[in-house]
Amino acid sequence: MTDDHDSAEDAGHEPERETFEHDPIGHAEARAGMTVGELADEYGNAGVGAANLHEAVDVTEAMFDDDVTVFFGLAGPMVPTGMRRIVADLIRDGYIDALITTGANLTHDSIEAIGGKHHHGCVEAEGKTEREHDETLRDEGVDRIYNVYLPQEYFATFESHLREEVFPVLEAEAEESGPVSIERLTRELGRANAEINEREDIEEGPGIAAAASEHDVPIYCPAVQDSVLGLQAWMYSQTSSFSLDALADMTALTDLAFEAEEAGAFVVGGGVPKNFTLQTMLVAPGAYDYAVQLTMDPQQTGGLSGATLEEARSWGKLETDAENVSVYADATITLPLVVAATRERLE
């Protein structure tokens, strides 16, 4: 038995907590006239995804330092959904040192550069099932990317652009010295996009590939075959000496990782661009010092797209003391917020 005095004394003591830090949740303020940076700071007072997004701004700010080599992975329908200018501006303003993306994003980027447009659409039409709606779109020659439409004639224009402005230059190089690298293809694509955009006075900007070509930022597209760009390259290769060397880019990309004093990975979406970005450090002496990923894929499936950056640390892709955060939300929402808030702090 314990006497009443001991019981009262025990009741007056806080229990010992080894893992608890007194850091109370604040209540975020949302007011008229706030900047994006101020809103991101308010997110830091909150919990769950808001706290993660606030941390992503912190890590991105550190990553965008001049001494950090930034590898930017871009997967998913980022160009057709309207994220094109954000990435192009990051390249032009010196925040990206290497872009790893999909052939699909480069295809849609080029379509916009040469005069095509993506349009607001809908998933279902009134009075029709989703299937019936898509059957109608097919009959009308319109491709659907969730709630975005793209008229199919723009793909024909893109094919002509490649065959007239891009492939012949690379074919001549292939005749001289053999298959060209995929990075060489993307660089030539950017040059041609910029040239046509200016010559035809296209209202939309020349875009991502053009910005990269102009500022000597390499674009790596390891799964280029998985796109309309890749299909067109394959078809052109059937009747010409033009061909691509899928392994040629590995040396330049690895050299960039080797030479980096510090390295950062900013990964939008998953798939091949994410893995290609992260695996680069497996053959470098160091690993990523900073990493941010924006994804909607859950980690519980064991797939690469949703895998945490902590998991990547176990592979040696991130330094043990790397600053990293994953934000699980639609990247068309999170990418503009993170970039705008970061740029507000830096500029």
Helix ranges, 12-116 (H): 36-43, 48-63, 84-92, 103-113
% pLDDT > 70, the chain: 96
pLDDT digits (tens, 9 = 90+) for 104-128: 999 999 999 999 999 999 999 999 9
Q: What is the pLDDT of residue 3?
A: 56
Interstrand relation of 262-268 and 244-245 (parallel, antiparallel or unpaired)? unpaired
Q: What is the pLDDT of residue 8?
A: 46
pLDDT digits (tens, 9 = 90+) for 307-317: 999 999 999 99
Tell me the C-alpha to C-alpha distance, in Å, between residue 104 and each of 49, 166, 179, 222, 340. 29, 17, 22, 12, 25
Q: What is the pLDDT of residue 22?
A: 86
What the chain holds in terms of domains, given with CATH numbers, is 101-260 (3.40.910.10)
Strand, helix or coil at 263?
A: strand
State the CB neighbour count (10 A cutoff) for residue 11: 7
pLDDT digits (tens, 9 = 90+) for 191-214: 999 999 999 999 999 999 999 999
Find, among 56, 104, 7, the residue nearest to 329 by Cα: 56
The answer to whether residue 317 is catalytic is yes
Question: What pTM does this model have?
Answer: 0.93
Catalytic-labelled residue, pool 117, 128, 274, 317: 317
Q: What is the pLDDT of residue 62?
A: 97
Q: What is the pLDDT of residue 4?
A: 54
CA pair distance 188, 183, nearest whole angstrom = 9
Find, among 77, 292, 102, 120, the residue nearest to 209 by Cα: 102
Find, among 312, 311, 322, 256, the residue nearest to 288 by Cα: 322
Q: Give exposure, 112-134, as e/b (b: 16+ Cβ within 10 Å).
A: bbbbbebeebeeeeeeeeeeebb
Q: What is the pLDDT of residue 180?
A: 97
Average pLDDT by consecutive 10-residue portion of the chain (347 residues)?
52 77 91 96 94 97 96 97 98 98 98 97 93 96 97 97 98 96 98 98 97 98 96 97 96 95 97 95 95 93 89 95 96 98 97
Place of tokens 């010559």: 199
Strand, helix or coil at 144?
A: strand
